Amino acid sequence: MKIRLLISLFFASVWHLDAQVNDSTNTDYLRVYLDGAYNYQEYIKTEIPFVSYVRDRFEADLHLLIAGQITGSGGFDYTLFFLGQGKFAGKNDTLHYIANTNNTEDESRTGLVQIIKMGLLPYIAKLPGNLPISITYSGSEGEETKQEDDKWNSWVFSISSYVNANISSIFTSYNISGNLSANKVTDDWKIGIDAGANYNTDIFVLDDSTNYESFNNSTYSDITVVKSLNDHWSIGGEADYYTSTFSNYDANINISPAIEYNIFPYGESTTKLLTFFYKIGPEYSNYTDTTIFEKESEILLRNRLDVSLSMTQKWGSIAIGINGSNYFHDLSKNSAGCFTSLNWRITEGLTINGFFTVDFQQDQLNLPKGDLSEEEILLQISEQKSSFNFYTFFGISYTFGSIYNNVVNPRFEGGNYSFYF
C-alpha cells in the first residue's frame, strides 16, 4: 500500500508540475518555427525568450529559415529568411550575418542572435499588447563604419597536420596526414590551391611469431581557377596530381578546362542551385604495376558532365545530381552516377529523410595485372574491379504533442552536445 501511495503521489506531482509549465506558455507571443542553425537552437531559444517557439511550421506566425554557405575566408555566411504566415502572410524579409573565420563559437552565435532579434522586431511590433522590449544602440554618435584594407588581398592560407595511433595487443594502426591550402574568393574570381599527403600503416598480430603489415599511402595536389562571367555563366579549369598505392598510381595528372551554367542567378545560391558543369582535358597516368590492359603509362583524353540541383525551402531541402564521364579512345570505358538527398516535412510532425547514391563504372584502367591475395582483398589494400557501387539510407519520424517548446533544460546531459549546422 505504501508503494502504491508513493507512486500515486509521484505521478500527481509530475502532472501538477507539467500543468504549471503549460500554463506559463504565453500564446500572445509571436509564434516562431525555427528552421536551421541546429547547433545554436538551444542558445537562440535561451537568448530570445520573448517569442513562442513551435515545433510545427504550420502552426507558426513566422517561419525563420536559416541557410548558410562557407565564405572565401573560411567563415560562414548565414542567410536568414523571415517568412510570414497566417496573419503575417506576404510579409517576408531577408537578412545576412557573416561569422568571421577567427570568431569563437560564442562570438558567432552571439552575432547571429543579434541579427535574429532585429529581424523579429517588425513582426512583434504588429502584435496586440505590449511586450517589455527595449532597443539600445551601443555605437558612438556619428560613428561611421569603414572597410579596413586587406593586406592579404583576399587570400586565405591553411596548414594542418594530424597523427592518429590505435594500439592494442593484437592490432596496431598509425596514420599521418598533412594538408596545405591557399584560397582566394571574390565576386569575380575563385582560386583554390590544395596539397597534401596521407600515410597509413596497419599491423595485425596473427600469432606469437607472425605479423601481417599493410600500407596505404597517397599524395595529392590540385588547382582550381574560376572566372565569373555573369549571374549564370562561369569558366575556368582544374589541374590535379595524385599518387596512390591503393589505386596503383605512381602519378596521375590531368588538366581540364571547364565551364558551368547555373539556371538560377548565383545570388540565390543559398536557397536554390541548378548547375550544368562540363570539363574536358588530357590525363596522364604512370602506373605502379602493369595494368590489366598491359599498360605501364599512357596519355588519354577524358571529359565529364555533372548536372545538379539543390533547394532549401520551407518544406525542407532536396539535392539531386547526375554525372557521366568517358575516355575518347574507347567510349565503352565510361562511368555514370546519380545521387538524391531529401529532407521533407510532409505535415504536422511527419518528416521523411533519406539519401542514396549509385555509381556505375567501366573505366577502371588503373587495375593492376595479376590476382590479389586473400589478405589484400579482405584488408582493401588494392583497388578491385567493381561494376557498381550503391549506398542508401531512409528514415521517417513522427512527433506529436504540445507544439510549444520554449524551455531549454540541459540537466543530466553531461555536456554531450553535437555540433552541426
Taking residues 286-307, what's their average pLDDT? 96
In a domain, 136, yes or no: no
In a domain, 15, yes or no: no
Question: Hey, what's the cell of 311?
Answer: 533547394
Beta-carbon contacts of 259 under 8 Å, excluding residues fewer than 6 positions away, are 233, 234, 235, 236, 277, 278, 279
- Looking up residue 86, the CATH number of its domain turns out to be 3.40.50
Whether the pLDDT of residue 139 is over 70: the answer is no
Taking residues 83-97, what's their average pLDDT? 88
Burial bucket for residue 147 (CB in 10 Å: 0-12, 13-18, 19+): exposed
- The strand order across the sheet containing 155-167 reads 155-167, 171-185, 189-207, 210-228, 233-244, 249-262, 272-287, 297-313, 316-327, 334-347, 350-361, 388-398
In a domain, 3, yes or no: no
pLDDT digits (tens, 9 = 90+) for 91-116: 888 888 888 777 777 788 888 998 99
Residue 270 and residue 383 share a domain: yes
Inter-CA distances, 131 with 29, 49, 80, Å:
9, 11, 23
In a domain, 33, yes or no: yes
Q: What is the distance between the alpha carbons of residues 400 and 361, in angstroms, rounded to a whole number?
A: 45
Residue 60 and residue 167 share a domain: no
CA 45 vs. chain centroid, Å, equals 23
* Domains: count for the chain: 3
Residue 275 and residue 401 share a domain: yes
Cβ atoms of 321 and 307 within 8 Å: the answer is: yes
In a domain, 363, yes or no: yes
Give which of 254, 264, 188 is closest to 226, Cα–Cα. 188
In a domain, 317, yes or no: yes
Which band of pLDDT confidence, cut at 50, 70 and 90, is reported for residue 325?
very high
> Which domain, by its residues, includes 187?
154-228
Residue 128 exposure: Cα atoms within 13 Å on the Cβ side: 3
Residue 191 and residue 305 share a domain: no
Whether the pLDDT of residue 22 is over 60: the answer is no
Query: What does the angle CA 109 – CA 114 – CA 115 come to, to the nearest 5 degrees?
Result: 100
DSSP for 255-273?
Answer: EEEEEEEESS-GGGTTTEE
How confident is the model at residue 20, as a pLDDT?
36
How confident is the model at residue 148, as a pLDDT?
57
Residue 105 and residue 69 share a domain: yes
Taking residues 232-241, what's their average pLDDT? 96
Residue 283 and residue 206 share a domain: no
This prediction's pTM? 0.69
Residue 273 and residue 378 share a domain: yes
Residue 212 and residue 78 share a domain: no
Q: What is the distance between the alpha carbons of residues 362 and 327, in angstroms, rounded to a whole number?
A: 10
Whether the pLDDT of residue 179 is over 90: the answer is yes
Taking residues 78-103, what's their average pLDDT? 86
Domain boundary among 124, 146, 173: 124
Residue 70 and residue 188 share a domain: no
User: Which of the residue ranges 132-136, 173-177, 415-419 would you say has the lowest mean pLDDT?
Assistant: 415-419
Which band of pLDDT confidence, cut at 50, 70 and 90, is reported for residue 19?
very low
pLDDT digits (tens, 9 = 90+) for 366-419: 999 988 877 777 777 888 889 999 999 999 988 777 655 555 566 776 655 444
Residue 113 and residue 67 share a domain: yes
